[in-house]
Amino acid sequence: MTRIRVLIADDQELVREGLAVLLAAQPDIDVVGQAADGLHAVLEVERSKPDVVLMDVRMPVVDGLEATRRIITAGHSARIIMLTTFDLDEYVYTALRYGASGFLLKESSAHTLAESVRAVARGDAMLAPSVTRRLLTEFTERPGRRTASMRNRPGALTARETEVLILIAGGLSNAEIAGELLISEQTVKSHVGRILEKLQLRDRTQAAIYAYETRLLRPD
């Protein structure tokens, strides 16, 4: 069994310890470090090489947003899940643009927490169901929010890859996409890999955001 290495960054010790206990109880997850602020989180990523970082949005010294930017810019492979108490936290939009792989409310259940860690570790999209539609609406409706990097991604997608991208943005799994398009799951996996490579995206979350920002799919 491949074990998932997790780093927890939150300025509240009680929250960090609680998350650590919940995750340590999982048979496939190891908590390899903790950080009380964003700067420490960046240093801990360098030291412990986690697969997934649970990153609080609001922290002292360096907040979770800036810490996420530094980690992604440095080229680390760690996937970052933003943790927040607020279901429409302004920081979350920017964090996802910086390359965060997911967004989770702190009130989420232990099961949701563990499954979210597993999902981003394997490259799947992970957004809290209660805010996904509103979140994507923000990406499409805010004037001037699309960045040059989103408008000018290199590498044109084929018609089939575009179909797959739209279904990814719709929240479908590889198995569901395979059933929808009447192709094998392995073929879907290959398409997803090529989409991410061509568009220079980190994972399915970024692919979903790209689809909405470029108007391939609309929240309604």
CB 140 within 8 A of CB 219: yes
CB 195 within 8 A of CB 201: yes
Question: Does 139-213 carry CATH code 1.10.10.10?
Answer: yes
Tell me the Cα Rg of the chain: 17
Which amino acid is it at 99?
G
Q: How far apart are the first and last CA of the chain?
A: 40
CA distances from 12 to 35, 56, 59 (A): 10, 9, 9
The pLDDT score that the predictor gives to residue 40 is 97
Task: Tell which CATH classification among 3.40.50.1860, 2.40.37.10, 3.40.50.2300, 1.20.120.10 matches the domain 4-130.
Answer: 3.40.50.2300
Same fold, 4-130 and 139-213: no
Exposed / middle / buried, residue 124 (Cβ in 10 Å: 0-12, 13-18, 19+): buried
The pLDDT score that the predictor gives to residue 35 is 97
The pLDDT score that the predictor gives to residue 144 is 47
List, in sequence order, the alpha helices (H) in the chain: 13-24, 38-48, 64-73, 90-98, 110-121, 132-141, 148-151, 159-169, 174-181, 185-199, 204-213
Q: Where are the domains of the chain?
A: 4-130, 139-213
CA distance 119 to 103: 12
Which amino acid is it at 159?
A
Exposed / middle / buried, residue 164 (Cβ in 10 Å: 0-12, 13-18, 19+): buried
pLDDT tens sequence for the chain (220 residues): 689 999 999 999 999 999 999 999 999 999 999 999 999 999 999 999 999 999 999 899 999 999 999 999 999 999 999 998 865 556 777 888 788 888 888 888 899 899 999 988 987 766 655 555 566 666 656 544 444 444 445 458 999 999 999 888 877 888 889 999 999 999 999 999 999 989 888 888 888 888 877 877 665 5
Q: Which residues contact 84 (CB under 8 A, 6 or more apart)?
A: 56, 57, 58, 91, 92, 103, 104, 105, 106
